Amino acid sequence: MSRSCCIINCNSRSHDSHGKPTGKEIGCYRITSLKRNCSSHVSEVTKRRLDCSHSKTKYNVPEPSSSQALGLPITDAQIAEMESHAEDIDFAVAAEEERKLRHDVMAHVHTFAHCCPTAAPIIHLGATSCYVGDNTDLIALRDGFNILLPKLARVIDRLANFAEEYADLPTLGFTHFHCLTLMSKVHKICTDIRLLANLKEIEEPFEKEQIGSSAMPYKRNPMRAERCCSLARHLIALMADPLQTASVQWLERTLDDSANRRISLPESFLTADIVLSTLQNITEGLVVYPKVIERDIHNELPFMATENIIMAIVKAGGNRQECHEKICVLSQESAAVVKQEGGDNDLLARIQRDPYFAPILGQLDALLDPKTFIGRAPQQVSKFLAEEVRPLLEPLQR
């Protein structure tokens, strides 16, 4: 529990200096670690959902207007009185009413009645607690997505720009973190950034006075990418809350979802907000080291080119299976030099010394050109961005 209330415009304290409830104020949860990083807009939306005070008051206003339209005896003066006091919430009175009534919505109905004595008899007329709570969630979800979707669009835009800039840069592609083929773009995000940072091929932004490690001054830990990965797991875990809640609802429904929703919904939006904000920061400052990438490619290129060499031998009249067996033997011998002796990859030299490969020796330079491994990737990137990504981003960018 927080020592200072997180309800908008409320500075009351719900606990004493020792963290014990005072019994005099409203108690509210604050997600401290998320509040430190999330944007003010999402914080405002989620604080309103955590507290629900505004919604419990404001959603008792339009309902009488609808009831009046249906013919119920509700006067314009009563509606005007409620509208004029929709933002006037006496939190101390609400807390006292809830202690007596043990019902949060009715506590605010009674509190609202103190502000609107003329309208008091018709406040919450024909309504239910779910009317207030469910509409609160819908509005909070709408407001939250209105904040998150433009952020998501900005992240995708930054990644699109990055992909466009490096579309024709050959890089090593990994499956099981083993080199299998060459690719021209980074296709994953934070986990890949962390792995590629270890290879020194790419880095997230690093500030001038930033400290990478408390123990080792040379380190530049990918702390932003690590944070995104950590919070992403948390957001995935939060998905279990609504799934489990839905699975245990009785008949039409029960109200044991309420307390869970007050925590899981705001926390989900706060977490998503942090992830997107941090990811935007990463994607706006990614640093690529082409020389390191080129070195890594050339270290692996002889192994990567073996399939091209087999194709060239077959075109020259050779037997595919026989060529595969010869390259397999030479590759294992070369790998032993790299792994056991710490030497360089000498597969290419072994191929050049073997008379079997004499028919294609003049083609080796072309067969080992990294550009020949990326196919139509640059054109595919350009087409995908122009036809799929940019049109979707346009309405969300601002």
Name the fold adopted by 32-135.
Fumarase C; Chain B, domain 1 (1.10.275)
Enumerate the CATH 1.10.275.10 domain ranges in the chain, comma separated.
32-135
Partners of 21 in the β-ladder: 15
Distances (CA, A) of 44 to 52, 259, 373, 389: 12, 19, 50, 31
Residue type, 288: V
Number of CB atoms found within 10 A of residue 234's CB: 14
User: Is 298 a known active-site residue?
Assistant: no
Cβ-based burial of 313 (10 A; exposed 0-12, middle 13-18, buried ≥19): buried
Closest among 47, 48, 51, 42 to 272, alpha carbons compared: 42
Place of tokens 């296709």: 187
User: Is 176 annotated as catalytic?
Assistant: yes
CA torsion sign for 75, 76, 77, 80 is: positive
Burial (CB < 10 A; 0-12, 13-18, 19+), residue 154, is: buried
Q: Give the active site residue among 176, 178, 187, 214.
A: 176
CA atoms lying within 13 Å on the CB side of residue 46: 28
Question: Phi and psi (nearest 5°) for 374?
Answer: -100, 0
- Distances in Å between the Cα of 69 and the Cα atoms of 85, 324, 349 are 21, 83, 89
Summarised one tens digit per residue, pLDDT across range 190-235 is 888 998 898 899 998 887 777 767 777 777 888 899 988 888 888 8
Q: Does domain 306-367 have CATH number 1.10.40?
A: yes
| Cα-based distances in Å from 116 to 61, 70, 81, 286 | 11, 22, 6, 57
**Identity of residue 107:** A
Q: How far apart are CA 185 and CA 187, in angstroms?
A: 6
The answer to whether residues 372 and 171 touch, using CB atoms and an 8 Å cutoff, is no
Catalytic one among 4, 33, 213, 230? 213
Contact 68, 79 (CB under 8 A): yes
Cα–Cα distance measured from residue 297 to residue 182, given in angstroms and rounded to the nearest whole number: 8
Mean pLDDT for all residues in the chain: 80
Q: Which long-range contacts (CB under 8 A, 24 or more apart) does 17-25 make?
A: 24/92, 24/95, 25/91, 25/92, 25/95
The token duo for 269 is 């939006």
CB atoms within 10 A of CB 52: 21
Residues 266, 31: contact at Cβ < 8 Å?
A: yes
Which pLDDT value is given to residue 175?
Answer: 64
Q: What is the DSSP string of 192-214?
A: HHHHHHHTTSEE----TT--S-S
Report the run of H or E that residue 288 belongs to, with start and end. Answer: strand 287-288
Residues of the chain scoring pLDDT < 50: 1-29, 49-54, 180-184, 186-187
- Give 281's contacts (C-beta < 8 A, 6+ positions apart): 205, 224
Q: Where in the chain is the domain with CATH 1.20.200.10?
A: 136-172+182-288
Query: How is domain 136-172+182-288 classified at the CATH fold level?
Result: Fumarase C; Chain A, domain 2 (1.20.200)
The token pair that represents 218 in the structure block: 């040379």
Nearest Cα residue to 381 out of 188, 175, 166, 181: 166
